[in-house]
Structure formats: C-alpha cells, structure tokens
Structure 1
Amino acid sequence: MNLQNVLDKKFPPLEHALTPRDSMLYALGIGFGDQPDDLGHLQFTYEDGLKAFPAMVNVISHPGGWVKEPGLEIDWVKLLHGEQSFRMHQPLEVDKTYVGTFQVTKVIDKGPGKGAMLYQEKQLREKESGVLVSTVTSTYVLRGDGGCGGTTSEAPQPHPIPERAPDSECSLATLPQSALLYRLSGDYNPIHADPALARKAGFERPILHGLCTLGIATRAVLQTFCNNDPARLKSLALRFSSPVYPGETIVTEFWQDGPVVSFRARVRERDVVVLNNGRAEIA
C-alpha cells in the first residue's frame, strides 16, 4: 500500500436516484418475501406504501472497487471486510436522490506480515435539501499491507457481548440463490457467483455477501424489537467473523439493555459465528 496516495485520494460525490425497483430488489435480496401475506414484508416489497429498508444506506452511492487502483498499491486480493456500521439521522425514502461523499479516515499499521486496518466513512445526504440521512463506516482488513505505515495506533474497541445467556433469538433462512439476487444491488464480485473463482479464493462454493448477512441481521433486529418499523432503528454496528453459504440459516442471538441491543449471529448448519460484537440502538 502507498499510504500517502491512499490518504490523498479524492472521491467524487456519487448520486443515486433511489427507485422503487432498487428498493424492492434489495429487500428481496436480504430475504423479504418469504412470507408474502405478512404486511411487515410487503412494506418493503410492494409498491403500494413502499418503504426503503434502512440497511440499504450501506450499498447506495458506494465508490465500488476503488482499492484496485494501481497507484494505491493495495494488495486487494488479501482484503477482508472487517467491520461495518450505519447511523440513521433521517429515514431513507424511495423516489428521492441521494449524494454520498466518501473518505478514508485513518489507517492502522500492525507491522510487517501482520496487515493493516483501513477505516472509511460515507455521509449520505438527500440531494434536494442537503439533509444528512446516514453516516456509514467500514473497516477493511488489509492482510498484505502491514509495514506500509499508518496514521494512528489506536484501534476502536469492539462492542462487548454480555456474558449472560441470550435474552432471545431470531432464525432467518437464506435461499440457495440469495447471493445471485443480492449482487443485483451493486456488488458484482465474482466470488459470490462463480464456483471456480470462489474455490480459487479459498471457499468451497460461492459465498454470501457480508453486507447481505448484515441486512439479514438488521431484519432480525427490526422483527424482534421494532415490530418491523424501520423508523425505530437508529444505528447498527458489527464485525464480520466468517462467511455464510447461500441456503444456510442465520440465527441471531440478542441481549437487550434498555435501548441498546447487543447481538451476534451464527449459521445453524455449521454452528459457526458469522457476525459478532453487534450493537443496535432502538428508539
């Protein structure tokens, strides 16, 4: 990684006109519609009274695969998506245009052979009014870029999961075609579709997008604590710990302490934790 070039990189503002089709396709990609007579599902999948699902702020106005730019010298093949968070300042709405501004906020160098952590932030604003709708952060684990320098040595501490037994849990199944559906929301990385490339990357078959797993966990939070009302979700943050294979069942475990919900998720079939250190704030 060329640290100075990464820090100097300028990201142009990116517009996204959020159409009803975009919104419905995203909702189907994270599994809504498996209960077609449930009004909690229809509000995200049917044009009459359509609402945008809040976790969609993670995928609109995104700069795409910028880490592949040659001048940045990032070993992008060894990149992992480590963490993700979003905070809702205003509801996301269909038939509005949004503008995303993106920046690298800091880099932590763990040393030669130990990798680096790259932190990013996106501010999503409604174009017409300029009102801030959401702040989205991402952390990339750059396994091949240790020893290239950093801007700080202080890494944020992960949200702790309570040591007591979970207060509740929510099970949501994924479909065998979930990754093929979800990629239509903008992430066309072939490891989510091409079996040969997935095996080359070290997976037995194509994996589900991490942000799709995040969307499913957000579904579980809304269903369990918000009566499927998206306006009640104020923020959500988590760490990715292991991939999900399409067709597996994601079981999200919850601990509630007032307006704060801690959570982690595992796949039932392999008993593997796939999301950890989750924190959601509920109105």
Structure 2
Amino acid sequence: MSAGDWAGRDLGERTVGYDERDAILYALSVGAAATDLDLVFEDRLRVLPSFGLTLAQWAPDVLAEAGAFDDRAVHGSQTLEVHRPLPRSGELRLSARVGDVWDKGSAAVFDVIVECAEFTATWSLFAPGAGGFGGGRGPARAATDERPVGATAAVTTFPTQAALYRLTGDRHHIHIDPAASARIGQTVPILQGLCTLAATTLVLASEQGAHPADLRSLRGRFSGPVIPGDVLEVESWHGGDFELRRDGTSVISDGRAVFA
C-alpha cells in the first residue's frame, strides 16, 4: 500500500472528556502564570483554544499505528481554526480523516484533519521514505515579500516544561528521555512543538492587547528544535504573521496567530 492510498481515509470518531483540572494543567504547561487567574483558577476559567489539540492527538497516532509511516516521521506543521469557545469542562465529539497526501520524492506529507463543533485542526506529518508513489508535490510555499522589521518579544520557556506538558498527552520519549532524544541527534530532550506554539500565542496575545482565549486561528511550521529553558525571540507583524527564533535561527516559521 503506497502513501497515496491513505488520502481520504477515515480515522474514526471519539468522544473525549476533560475537566477544569485538565484545562488548568494545560495552561500552566504552556506558560500561564499563577496570576493569570482566568487561565488557572476554576472560578474564572477560560479555556485556551489550543488545549483542543491535546484532545485530538489520538488522530495522528491512529494513522501511525495503522502503518502509514515509520518512526522517522515528524510533525511538520499545524493549523487550528476555532469555531466557538471550549467549555470549561465536558466532552467533545471528534471525527478524524486523512486529507491530502503529498509526494515529496524521498518523503510524503500526510495531512490529518480533526473536526468538531468547536474547532478544525490539521496536522501535517513529514514521513521520510514514504514518497515516490507518483502523487502531486502539493502547493509550493509562497515567497516571502520583503517586509519591515516587526515587533519583537521574548518567549521564555522553563526547564521542566517538556516534562509538565507530557502530562497533557504527548508522551513521546524524545521529550523526557535523553537516550531517546540522542537517537534524533539531540543531546537533551526537546520541547514539544505544540507546546512551543501555544506558549508563543500567550506572548503574542499580550503584545496585541488581546486575551489568549480569544484566539481564532493559528498556524506554524516547525523548523527547528527548542530546549526547555531556552529564551526565544518572536518577531510579529500587523495581521498576525510571526516567526519564532532560537539564537537567530527559525524554530517556527510561516506563523500566524489571529485573535478576536
């Protein structure tokens, strides 16, 4: 079975429940402060929209377990479109499917789409060794026009962040076990890409005078590793575009975060 045969494949439905403690743990793991009472105190709680991505993580895992690609696959990019606020607690009925599968020659890119009443999210998974099946290469990345210098701000991660974020659902060993991270060329465990992306939205919301729970759309391409404890720089432009850098090198490119 070639990678292209997975396009359009139904990945099933699941009802996923959570409570206020789960939403608060998530907010703390992506960098909310103890003083952000509407993110960490149940009496005032507003749930971060990106929390929904932890509830939908099962979908790309289903595709992996079905044998579409091997353990060399990496999370290439992520999008999130918010339709309505997540409740403080309850259940979401999620449906998942494979979208397009693009042939990059030596690799394939699988789009996994998860939908519910509250949001639509797409994981793009880059799978080495799965290309060469004669499919389309997919849309080319748009050229970036020269633009003025944007506003900059610091995104500060903390040393225990990857270990804490694991408790929200992403328990891949490269985020906790040095032996596992060494197998991908990282001497220490790296921070989860979705954690880095969500942490950046907190800073961008503050810079724009918005509330992070008012996020309406989000995207980012994971272009480099982040080590828990790194201080990163985010450069942002009017309209929501941003780029996140570590020591001048991009770690999230093609970023965009739009708030109500």
Normalising by structure 2, report the TM-score: 0.92
Residues 85, 161 of structure 1: alpha-carbon distance in 2 compared, 3 angstrom cutoff: farther
User: Does the Cα contact within 8 Å between 1:109 and 1:153 map onto a contact in 2?
Assistant: yes
Please state how far the C-alpha of 1:149 moved relative to its aligned partner.
4.0
Residue 177 of structure 1 corresponds to 160
Counterpart selection for 1:93 from 76, 87, 90: 87
1:68 maps to: 64
State the identity as a percent: 29
Partner residue of 1:108 out of 98, 102, 107: 102
Match of residue 264, structure 1, among 239, 243, 246: 243
Mapped partners of 1:133, 1:161: distance in 2: 34
Name the Cα RMSD after superposition.
2.0
- What residue is the counterpart of 1:58 in the other structure? 53
Question: Where does residue 38 of structure 2 map in the other structure?
Answer: 43
Change (3 A) 1:158 1:245: farther
Question: Do the aligned partners of 1:11 and 1:103 also contact (CA within 8 Å) in 2?
Answer: yes
Is 2:230 the counterpart of 1:230? Answer: no
**Partner of 1:243 in structure 2?**
225
Deviation at 1:228, TM superposition (A): 2.4
Deviations 1:221-276 (Å, cap 9, x if unpaired)? 21111432522x211111110010001012211111xxx21100112xx3321111
Question: Equivalent residue of 1:197, what SS?
Answer: helix
| 8 Å contact kept, 1:226–1:282 | no
Q: Does 2:188 align with 1:205?
A: yes
Deviations 1:189-232 (A, max 9, x none): 0000001111112111100000001111111221111432522x
Aligned residues: 259
Residue in structure 2 matching 1:122, options 114, 118, 123: 114
Match for 1:141 among 118, 126, 141?
126
Which whole-Å CA distance do the structure 1 matches of 2:242 and 2:253 have between them?
Answer: 7
Identify if the C-alpha distance between structure 1 residues 185 and 158 changes in structure 2 by more than 3 Å, giving closer, same or farther.
Answer: farther
Matches of 2:20 and 2:182, distance apart in 1:
35
State the AA in 1 paired with 2:131. G
Structure 2 residue identity aligned to 1:136: A
Is 1:157 the counterpart of 2:153 in the alignment? no
Using the alignment, how far apart are the partners of 1:266 and 1:165 within structure 2?
14
* Alignment correspondent of 2:12: 12
Residues 247/159 of structure 1: CA separation in 2 closer, same or farther (3 Å cut): farther
- Return 5+ residue gaps in structure 1 as ranges: 125-131
Residue 84 of structure 1 corresponds to which residue in structure 2?
A: 78
Report SS of the residue matched to 2:58. coil
- Cα distance in 1 for partners of 2:49, 2:83 equals 11
C-alpha spacing 1:94/1:195, structure 2 compared with 1 (3 Å)? same
Question: What secondary structure sits across from 1:11 in the alignment?
Answer: strand
* 1:218 pairs with 2:195: no
CA separation of 1:266 and 1:98: change in aligned 2, threshold 3 A: same
SS at structure 1 position matched to 2:129:
coil
Q: Distance in 2 between matches of 1:206 and 1:8?
A: 34
